[in-house]
Amino acid sequence: MEATPSFGQLCYIPAMRFSLTTWNINSVRLRIDLVAKFLKSVRPDVLCLQETKCIDDAFPLKRFKRLGYEHVALNGQKGYHGVAIVSKLPFENTDIRTFCDKIDSRHISVSFGEKAQLTKPLELHNFYVPAGGDIPDPVLNPKFDHKLKFLDEMKACEPLHPRGDDRHILVGDLNVAPHENDVWSHKQLLKIVSHTPIETEKLLAAQTHGEWFDVARERIPMSEKVYTWWSYRAADWTVGNRGRRLDHIWVSRALKDGISDFRITRDARGWERPSDHVPVTVTLDV
């Protein structure tokens, strides 16, 4: 008797389940044990880090390799900023872009394809958008001016954005909480950098221009408060739950229907010597 081919074999190549975490780690060397704890428990295929705060030669490569993350793309700098992508899956290509004519390490991207057993290419961009200082006025505060220009350049950066059935993912610490319920008090934060109208408009303009879908808000209603960051400048971060949603995962239209899970590891804010940001993870079929 002949074996009956399964539906899958006949009709399509099954999609691969792919998981991805973004985390502003605020020094990868200082918090490598927390990273290891997280990776052992959640085991995402890919981890995108921001604020690694070290040059590439000082990045704890061996530790990641021992944890099963053998593929690493780095864009570090001494003391400040710095982004990295560590992965269980091999990359096809890696790329670094600069914004605002600065050498700041605020972007790195990789693509996945045949080497990762994907039938169609997948492009992943990891960003660390400038925080923008304290004064929300681009004339008085050059850091805020830089942030606004950076957001404008993100919007204008055509290769970044998906078109048609492109499979793109954009993650990172975007340092903007765009919606009312992305902050603990919309009213009280309207003049606080990260939630001023000019920033939120520019971030959403980039998102709309690129036909991106905000995974958190695909999964969690707009009416619900969602945070990924709680300030260090509070005696107790849990009092009043004064958080903001600064860390984001955007996916292109071709990927959004494949989303199967989204989670914010809020517990991580309470770990010993934590980052002020917590890991944000998506699982989707690719």
209 is catalytic: no
Min dist CB 157 to DNA, Å, is 19
168/162 Cα distance (integer angstroms): 6
Distance (Å) of CA 124 to CA 24, 175, 197, 226: 16, 19, 28, 23
153 is in an annotated binding site: no
277 is in an annotated binding site: yes
173 is in an annotated binding site: yes
- Are 149 and 161 a contacting pair, CB within 8 Å? no
Cβ proximity to DNA, 77 vs 113, nearer residue: 77
69 is catalytic: no
Q: Rule CB under 7 A: which residues touch DNA?
A: 26-27, 29-30, 53-54, 78-81, 130-133, 143, 175, 232-233, 235, 273
2 is in an annotated binding site: no
Q: Which one from 173, 182, 214, 247 is the annotated catalytic residue?
A: 173
Q: Which one from 45, 81, 125, 128 is the annotated catalytic residue?
A: 128
80 is catalytic: no
Cβ proximity to DNA, 108 vs 116, nearer residue: 108
Interior/surface letters 162-173, b for 16+ CB within 10 angstroms, e for the rest: beeebbbbbbbb
Neighbours of 56 (CB within 10 A): 16
Min dist CB 36 to DNA, Å, is 16
Task: Give Cβ neighbours of residue 108 (< 8 Å, ≥ 6 apart).
Answer: 73, 74, 75, 83, 84, 85, 94, 95, 96, 125, 126
15/7 Cα distance (integer angstroms): 14
Cβ proximity to DNA, 14 vs 240, nearer residue: 240
276 is in an annotated binding site: yes
Residues annotated in a binding site for Mg(2+): 24, 51, 173, 175, 276-277
Catalytic residues: 128, 173, 277
Residues annotated in a binding site: 24, 51, 173, 175, 276-277
